[in-house]
Amino acid sequence: MLEIVIKRLISTIPVMLTVATLVFLLLRLAPGDPARVIAGDMASEDTITQIRGEMGLDQSVGTQYVRWLAALAQGDLGHSVLSKQPVSTLIAARLGPTFSLAGGAILLTIALAIPLGVLAAWRHRRLADRGIMAGAVLAFSVPAFVVGYLLILVFSVKLNWLPVQGYTPLAEGVGEYLSHLVLPVITLATIFVALITRITRASVLDVLGEDFVRTARAKGVTERFVLFRHALRNAAIPIVTVVGVALTTLISGVVVTETVFNISGVGRLIVDAVLSRDYPVVQGTILFFSFLYVFINLLIDIAYVVLDPRIRY
């Protein structure tokens, strides 16, 4: 197991280097002058030149790249051009809302999707199966921002049960913390509940047709034991894969949900940085998301070995 982890960690180095290079080049190839955008329409040429110097844009692209990689190797993501704060500090300040939102969504997704998928597979072609699949198709078809606005309309505007927007840290009270997370978590989890429900149903159906399941039933094993000990365990590999992909998408795809509910997370940070052409913040946040993606894929690979000892890398 340790050898697997070490090999995977080593393999992440070229991946992260490639991502860093692509991010750097794409930002430099984007049209427009970031110094002029930051300075504003009424700024003088001297002011624009000064900002370009502060951003290092007066140097060649090769020099900028080498200096940026050297700082990155030391763990320095740079400083925001607008706020002058370290990018790592800005990201750390926004991690709480983003991780709370993504963590709550993935827990809700697993709690709902896997039991619903198993139930649909067990009641194949019956009313429960058709109802669950119809709901999954509907949930998968509706955009997240539409779900968010509908939830706000019903539970915040009409019923006045939950707050419309914002985020309250856990330190300020569990009740306020949870009440501000309910609607955005449901919004973010809806599409992933639909996706993982369908994958779970298909995987469990494949396993239920295997000979060892029929043998277990012939021996008088209870249906619950067949479903959760035999079928679900042997169908776990594709389910874990989709859950891992969903987790990475949840963390890096919270931009829409954070915008709808006015939550100041990392997603909002990167959107604001893109609009203001704050290069260091954009580069730092994208690299941060890339590292999370690689790390979660490492966890998925480890989970494969734990779930199925026959798998070796």
In this predicted structure, what is the pLDDT of residue 1? Answer: 63
Q: What is the pLDDT of residues 37-59, one digit of tens each?
A: 666 667 677 777 777 777 677 77
pLDDT tens for 164-222 read 888 888 878 888 888 888 888 898 888 888 888 988 888 888 887 777 777 777 777 77
Of 255, 108, 264, 100, the C-alpha closest to 189 is 108
Mean pLDDT of 271-286: 80
Residue 71 pLDDT grade (very low, low, confident, very high; cuts 50, 70, 90): confident
Lowest mean pLDDT among 158-172, 187-201, 221-235, 290-304: 221-235
Instruction: Name, of 22-26, 30-34, 149-153, 296-300, the range with top average pLDDT.
Output: 149-153
Question: How would residue 275 be classed by pLDDT, with cut points 50, 70 and 90?
Answer: confident
Q: Are 76 and 283 in contact (CB under 8 A)?
A: no
Distance CA 22, CA 44 (A): 32
69-78, 126-135, 168-177, 228-237: the lowest-pLDDT one: 228-237
Task: State residue 309's pLDDT score.
Answer: 63
The predicted pLDDT at position 140 comes to 83
**pLDDT confidence band for 313 (50 / 70 / 90):** low
